[in-house]
Amino acid sequence: MADLSLDDQVSLLMQGTEYGDDTLKQAMADELRQRLQDVEAEGRPLRVYCGFDPRTSDLHLGHTVPMRKMRQFQELGHDVTFVIGRFTSLVGDPSDKDSVRAQLNMEEAARNAETYAEQAFKLLDPKRTHIAYNDMWLSDLNFQDLIGLASNFTVQQFLAREAFRKRWDAEDPIYFHEFFYALMQGYDAYHLKTDVQIGGSDQLFNIVTAARKLMEALGERPNIAIIHGILPGTDGVVKMSKSLGNHIPLNAAPEDMYGKVMSVPDIAMSHFFRLVTRWTPNEIDEIESGLASGGLHPRDVKMRLAREIVEIFHGEEAVEPAEEAFIRVFQEREEPEEMPDFVLTPGKTLVEVMVDSGLVESKSEARRLIEQRGVRLDGIIQDDQDKILDSPESQVLRVGKRRFIRLSPREWP
């Protein structure tokens, strides 16, 4: 990729970006082109960073969107820093939130962060990735430093943000510590003296307004904001989220990952093309032209997409078995040959078994799936959440299209 022309580099790095404003997008593209020329003249790579707050211990496919962009910069020869936001996690990003986030303590953030680098290396080149923890510099700031940082912004700027404005209009509380998040993230960019900062469209204020202004105020050249779109979940509509159950975990088994990608609605495929694949802008244009003309069938394209995603995270050798499992289970309507066993406990309800066996993460998710007629026992749709599972025979419990478990009875007293 290092031999791409300047125009092709800019096109690749701006692929999938969304600023909500064409003028701003063009300005960032122009700045990126100029900075690429400048660093080449200086004989150095770009300094690129993105931060990830360890609010939970597991990453999903949505988290990899900025990582994919970081990998593109790496393959073009630039320096990439993966910042684990143990300190920003203490506040929690208020962007795109209609209520205050629960606060973590440092022990929780550190525990969640333990496997972040390992998960990130499924996509990033570990030999070319710098790992940094922002508590290493943010924890050294004192109250006088905070006053200096805060003096660069007005309360009106923060209240104009959509998330805060909605809460203000609804007379819902906005806590003062939530304002600190943008200052902390902006200081990350200043401390690292970055040329480029990557983030989702929900980070527009934090990067374009806060980080760029703060860097300039502190005597650094403002970094360039690469603002990518938000990956929808498997429902194709709402942002991918573990709490909503529409996510594709990075640690999902290949066949499960393949199946989850195949469940994504056709209308959302273009987002996946641009945000999580290794495909170039020209390749994506060809695929979309084929879909529009009818020359390509959406199912075939989606299978190609599923193969691409499985190969990225599990390797080429995992693709064929994952696809065969999908064809066997979903196209031929067979149950998988292998599935986990779960020994029934006396008196357990359907909802309790779904949670205890790990098929779902919460009772509320179990109830929702039952209400949506997404739970089957030996092929029969279940609608009774309080049904006691006490059959003396082995049964197969299926949740959604991809989750199976074999219920095994035992000798009960």
pLDDT tens, 307-348? 999 999 999 999 999 999 888 776 656 666 677 888 888 888
Please give the Cα distance from 68 to 226 (Å, whole number): 12
Strands of 47-52's sheet, edge to edge?
129-133, 79-84, 47-52, 196-200, 224-228
pLDDT tens, 250-282? 888 899 899 899 989 899 999 999 999 999 889
Q: Which CATH number fits domain 6-228: 3.40.50.720, 3.50.50.60, 3.40.50.620, 1.10.3720.10?
A: 3.40.50.620
Higher pLDDT, 140 or 395: 140
Q: What is the pLDDT of residue 412?
A: 44
pLDDT tens, 101-111? 566 777 887 78
pLDDT tens, 34-83? 999 999 999 999 999 999 888 777 788 998 899 999 999 999 999 999 99
Helices (H), 114-229: 116-120, 135-138, 143-150, 155-159, 162-169, 180-192, 204, 212-217
Buried-exposed string 331-354: b where 16+ CB fall within 10 A, e elsewhere: eeeeeeeeeeebebeeebbbbbbb
Please give the Cα distance from 106 to 249 (Å, whole number): 24
Q: What is the pLDDT of residue 103?
A: 65
What does the domain layout of the chain look like in residue ranges? 6-228, 254-331, 341-408
Q: What is the pLDDT of residue 320?
A: 94
CA atoms within 13 A on the CB side of 146: 12
Please give the Cα distance from 242 to 246 (Å, whole number): 7
Angle, vertex CA 343, rays to CA 340 and CA 347, nearest 5? 135
Q: What is the pLDDT of residue 413?
A: 45
pLDDT tens, 353-386? 999 888 888 888 888 888 888 888 877 788 888 8
Tokens of 185: 């993230």
The conformational region for residue 385 under phi > 0 = left, psi -120 to 50 = alpha, else beta, is alpha
Work out the average pLDDT over 395-399.
86
Candidate from 25-34, 190-199, 381-390 with smallest mean pLDDT: 381-390
**Fold that domain 341-408 belongs to in CATH:** 3.10.290
**Fold that domain 254-331 belongs to in CATH:** Tyrosyl-Transfer RNA Synthetase (1.10.240)
Contact 246, 233 (CB under 8 A): yes
Please give the Cα distance from 144 to 150 (Å, whole number): 10
